């Protein structure tokens, strides 16, 4: 699917995105620095009524947020940034695989920035998201489901 949005109408894009992908638990956000990965994830968390402060996990590597599932159960979001990871073993040591295991068990949602740093850790099914910025205001998001 494609989504075109600016900061003016990003809420609508987030809502359309989530209506489409709410059954998935693992989301891989690709895009250059400044493309808008963190911004979109922040808005998704707002959409899910996350109360915790949402910020870029560039230094902490994993941020943890709380939200209520559709069945009103407490669920976790793991917001990860793999940019500073060298390889898969470093990702495992940092606890990334545990987060993905929880997502696969349906107990958490993972939003991952720079997934290509440890792509082997991704488990199917997951959603690939590519964000491009044709100019300062506009973003083009392309999404695909990876099934196995």
Ligand X SMILES: Nc1ncnc2c1ncn2[C@@H]1O[C@H](COP(=O)(O)OP(=O)(O)O)[C@@H](O)[C@H]1O
Q: Tell whether residue 48 is a contact of ligand X (CB under 6 A).
A: no
Residue at token pair 């990871």: 85
Residues 56-115 that bind ligand X (CB under 6 A): 56, 113
CB-CB contact of 27 with 144 (8 Å):
no
Residue from 3, 10, 77, 108 that binds ligand X (CB under 6 A)? 10
Residue from 19, 33, 59, 120 that binds ligand X (CB under 6 A)? 33
Q: Tell whether residue 37 is a contact of Mg ion (CB under 5 A).
A: yes
Q: Which is nearer to ligand X, 35 or 127 (CB)?
A: 35
Rounded least distance, CB 55 to ligand X, Å: 10
Residue from 36, 78, 91, 100 that binds ligand X (CB under 6 A)? 36
Closest residue to ligand X, judged by C-beta, is: 36
Question: How many residues belong to the site for ligand X (CB under 6 A)?
Answer: 16
Rounded least distance, CB 36 to Mg ion, Å: 8
């Amino acid at each position: 699917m494609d989504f075109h949005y600016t900061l003016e109408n990003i809420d609508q894009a987030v809502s359309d995105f989530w209506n489409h992908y709410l059954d998935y638990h693992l989301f891989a956000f690709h895009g250059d620095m400044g493309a808008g990965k963190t911004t979109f994830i922040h808005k998704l968390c707002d959409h899910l009524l996350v109360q915790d402060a949402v910020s870029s996990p560039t230094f902490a590597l994993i941020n943890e947020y709380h939200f209520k599932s559709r069945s009103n159960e407490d669920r976790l979001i793991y917001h990860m940034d793999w940019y500073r990871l060298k390889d898969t073993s470093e990702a495992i040591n940092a606890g990334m695989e545990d987060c993905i295991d929880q997502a696969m068990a349906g107990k958490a949602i993972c939003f991952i920035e720079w997934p290509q740093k440890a792509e082997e850790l991704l488990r199917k099914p997951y959603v690939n998201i590519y964000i491009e910025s044709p100019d300062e205001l506009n973003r083009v998001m392309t999404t695909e489901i990876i099934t196995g």
